[in-house]
Amino acid sequence: MKILNKTMSITSSAVVTTAALLLSISPVQASSMGEGLYMQHCAACHQPDGNGVPGIFPPLADNAQVNSDDPENIQKYLRRIIFGYHGGLIVNNQMYSGRMPPIGYVGRLNDSELLKLVNYQRSSWGSKARAITFDELARARKAGSLK
C-alpha cells in the first residue's frame, strides 16, 4: 500500500511538471510547433523575424549558407546548432565573432523537435529551402563539433 501511494504521487508530480512546461510555451502563441520552438530557443538572439542584430547575432533570414540545399552546407548548419559555434563568421559583408550556444544537443531538444525547428526556420521569412531529414540530422550529431 505504501509503495502504491509513492507511485501515485510521482505520477501526479509528473503531470504538474508537464502542465508547467506546456504553460511556459503557450504565451508565445505559436501557430506551429516549429515556430514555438524557434521562439523559445533562438529568437532572443536571432530575433523573431530571423534578421538577427547586425555585428552581434547573424541573420538566419536571407542567409545563403543557412538556407542552402547543398548537403555539405546543411551539415555545417546542423553542427553549429547542435554543438554551438564561435569560429567567427562573415554574413552579408558583416563580421560576427560571438558565441552560439550548443542548443540542439540531445537532452535539450530531441531529433523530432530539432527538425521541426530548423525546417520552420528554413521555410520562413521568404526562404523556401528544402526540409532536412532525420538521416541528415543523425549524420551531423555523429560528426560532432565543427571546431
User: Site residues (CB under 6 A) for ligand HEC?
Assistant: 41-42, 44-46, 57-58, 60, 63, 65-66, 77, 80-81, 85-89, 91, 96-101, 103, 117, 121
Comparing CB distances to ligand HEC, the nearer of 81 and 115 is: 81
| Measured CA distances, 25 to 29, 45, 71, 105, 140 (Å) | 8, 18, 32, 20, 27
**Rounded Cα distance, 33 and 25, in Å:** 10
User: Which of 83/85 has CB closer to ligand HEC?
Assistant: 85
Residue reference for cell 554543438: 83
Q: Is 21 exposed, middle or buried (0-12, 13-18, 19+ CB in 10 A)?
A: exposed
DSSP E strand stretches across 16-135: 89-91, 94-96
Q: What is the Cα–Cα distance from 65 to 71, expressed in whole angstroms?
A: 11
User: Minimum distance between the CB of residue 85 and ligand HEC, rounded to whole angstroms?
Assistant: 5
Of residues 14 and 56, the one with the C-beta less far from ligand HEC: 56
**CB-nearer residue toward ligand HEC: 10 or 132:** 132
**Shortest Å distance, C-beta 44 to ligand HEC:** 5
At closest approach, how far in Å is the CB of 3 from ligand HEC? Answer: 41
Q: Please identify, using beta-carbon distances, which residue of 26 and 46 lies nearer to ligand HEC.
A: 46
Kindly state the smallest distance separating residue 78's Cβ from ligand HEC, in Å: 8
Neighbours of 68 (CB within 10 A): 16
